[in-house]
Structure formats: structure tokens, C-alpha cells
Amino acid sequence: MRVAVTIPYFDFFPELKAELARRYPGAKFRTDRHRLSEDQFIEFAHGHDAAVIGIENFSDRVFSALPELKTLSLCSAGVDHIDPTLLNKHGIRMWWAAGINKTSVAELTVCLMILGLRRVHEFSSMLHRGEWKGPIGFGGDLRGRTVGIHGLGHIGKEVAKLLQPFGVKLIACDRVDISDFCRQYNIESVSADELWARSDVLTIHLPKNSTTIGMYTPEVLAKLKPGMMLVNCARGMIVDETALAAELQSGRIAAACFDVFAIEPANNNPLLKLPNLFASPHIGATTLESWAAMLRSGMDGVEKPWEPQVGVYPFD
């Protein structure tokens, strides 16, 4: 098996890199960390049977230029950058493990809830500007609030588990039957409209696909409970950012905590200028533990790929 490793992060985990090299003699590793263009990917992966990848995007011309390539093993948390139709056309199988980074993303989610409610980012910025000269206002407690979870998959479930000691009322919405999990963790299963109307804190844990892109329209954002806080550690493009900015500026949505954005890097995003937005640069999975797990999954997945099916999870 000739393996091309296009994801560059194995350098941070030399033991994993050495293990992969022993398992697949002659494995080819990248030495830089810029995102590969299609031509660069073609050149790098030429002559290889399998590629261990991150979030590269592929067009038909890439696979047409790499007839030997028959396996893609993903180290990524999601698959929204993969087109199963193209893989099937070229006879390419894939590996991907769902929920591989669920602990790290769930911990960040709960962290953002508390930071946002306590307005830590606002008060910290005030301190750095030398404006701590008297009463600085109030934050709020998480305890006693109604927390809504939109999407009770791997990460959403982990968030629910982490919130058990906080004394919150948990409600959740998902398109599949979540009744067993809800009974186990004292969660009320509700409709989307009820989730939007009742949540003091609403956290989004939906995949990015044709059914969720643009889901949080201006009309949906107008349905959210006045004074609530919105958290998104899932994917960009699920929430209409222009409409969110208007809601934050008016104060109808009191605060938002976002780790993901429609366009990344989000350095020039107007949302970042709003004092009631707490933002982080897509760091949900950037822990040593998560990356070690994702890289190992990608390494192991070379030997156990499966055939993707359009309309079947995770491409439903």
C-alpha cells in the first residue's frame, strides 16, 4: 500500500508518524502546512493507492488525474468537503469516524456558554484598555437556565452529559428519535419552534449539509427568545450572519458565541466588531487529545475504508 499523507500535523505527534511510517513503508509526508491546491495535491499524491487527508476539496479532475488512488482516509471532524458522487464515480472508498473530537468540542461549547453569560470577553477587553474605573455591569449564571441543544448527535449528546451537574433545564431537538437518550439524561424532546421559543441558551450541533445550510434565517432568528444567547461550535453557513449581526446590535439576542463562520479565516468579519459576540478561530478540535485521536483514526482507516452512499449518513 503506497500512502500519501497530505495532512501536515503528524509532525506534532512523532510517535504516530513513526508508527504510520513503519506500517506503510515509503509513506510520503508533507513538510509544510499551507493548504494544497488541486495541482499540488495531484503532484503530491501521484502514484499512491491511498491518501490520509484533512479538509482538502476535490473536483473531478483531481480523481481523473490520480487513477491509482482508491482510498481516502479522513482525519477531519466532518465530511462536508467530500462529494460522495465523485468518489463513487471513480471507485474510491473512504474512511471517516464520527464524533472523534466530541469531547473537545463539547468542552469548548460549555466553556463558551459560561464565558458569554458572564461577559468575560467584554470585561477582559475593558481591563486591557484601562477602563476598570468603577462598576462594570453584570453577567449571568448558567445555573437555572433553559439550555436548548439543536442536534443531539455525538457532540450534542456529550454537551448534554457535561451539563448534568449545572442545574439547567435541558431541551433538545433532532430529526431522528432521541427519546431513549432524553429519558436517560432528563432532557425534554421538543420541536424546533419550541426549542427556539424557550431556550435561554441555544447551542447548535448540526452537520453542514443541504438541509442545514442557511437554516437559521432572519425569520428563524426572529423566533428566538428575546434576551437569549446563541452558541455555534458546529459549522459556518448554518446561521445567517448578517441577520445575526442585526439581532445582536438591537440587543434582542443578548449575546452570541461562535467558533465557526461562513468564510474562514474570519479576520474581517463584521461580527467581530460587536461587543456582544465572543469569537474563537475554529478551535473546537484543537486539543492535543482530539488531534491525536483524529490522526490515529486517519492512519487506521487506510485499512478499513467503506463505500460512501449518497443520501445515507453522513451524506444524508
Grouping H, G, I as helix, E, B as strand and the rest as coil, residue 241 is helix
pTM: 0.93
Cell of 147: 439550555
Single-letter amino acid, residue 287 = T
Q: Do domains 3-100+287-301 and 102-279 have the same CATH topology?
A: yes
User: What does the block give as the cell for 202?
Assistant: 441555544
pLDDT score of 182: 98
Question: Can you tell me the distance from the alpha carbon of 233 to that of 261, in angstroms, rounded to the nearest whole number?
Answer: 9
| Radius of gyration of the chain from its Cα atoms, rounded to whole angstroms | 21
Question: pLDDT value at position 135?
Answer: 84
Rounded (10°) CA dihedral 303, 308, 314, 316: -170
Contact by Cβ (8 Å): 77, 105: yes
Q: What is the pLDDT along the chain (316 residues), one digit of tens a residue?
A: 999 999 999 999 999 999 999 999 999 999 888 889 999 999 999 999 999 999 998 999 999 999 999 999 999 988 999 999 999 999 999 999 999 999 999 999 999 999 999 999 999 999 999 999 888 899 999 999 999 999 999 999 999 999 999 999 999 999 999 999 999 999 999 999 999 999 999 999 999 998 999 999 999 999 999 999 999 999 999 999 999 999 999 999 999 999 999 999 999 999 999 999 999 999 999 999 999 999 999 999 999 999 999 989 899 8
Which homologous superfamily is 3-100+287-301 in?
A: NAD(P)-binding Rossmann-like Domain (3.40.50.720)
Pairing of strands 253-258, 28-29: unpaired
Q: What DSSP letter does each residue of 152-194 carry, written as one string?
A: -SHHHHHHHHHTGGGT-EEEEE-SS--HHHHHHTTEEE--HHH
Percent of the chain residues topping a pLDDT of 90: 94
Look at domain 102-279 and name its CATH class: alpha beta
> Do residues 183 and 160 touch, judged by C-beta distance below 8 A?
no
Q: Is the peptide bond before 265 cis (omega within 30 degrees of 0)?
A: yes
Instruction: Give the CA dihedral 299, 305, 308, 313, nearest 10 degrees.
Output: -70
CB atoms within 10 A of CB 148: 29
Which candidate, 209, 211, 203, 192, places its Cα nearest to that of 259? 203
Alpha-carbon span 224 to 39, nearest angstrom? 45
Which residues have a catalytic role annotated? 235, 264, 282
Q: What is the pLDDT of residues 140-173, one digit of tens each?
A: 999 999 999 999 999 999 999 999 999 999 999 9
Give the model's pLDDT for residue 211.
92
Rounded CA separation 140/188 (Å): 23
Dihedral, CA atoms, 301, 304, 309, 310, nearest 10 degrees?
10
Q: Give the tens place of pLDDT for each residue, 115-140.
A: 999 999 999 999 999 999 888 899 99
Other beta carbons within 10 Å of 179: 10
Cβ proximity of 96 and 314 under 8 Å = yes
**Domain boundaries along the sequence of the chain:** 3-100+287-301, 102-279
Long-range pairs for 153-156 at CB < 8 Å and ≥24 separation?
Answer: 153/98, 153/99, 153/205, 153/207, 154/98, 154/99, 154/102, 155/99, 155/102, 155/105, 155/106, 155/109, 155/205, 155/233, 155/234, 156/203, 156/205
* DSSP structure string for 77-126: S--TT--HHHHHHTT-EEE--TTTTHHHHHHHHHHHHHHHHTTHHHHHHH
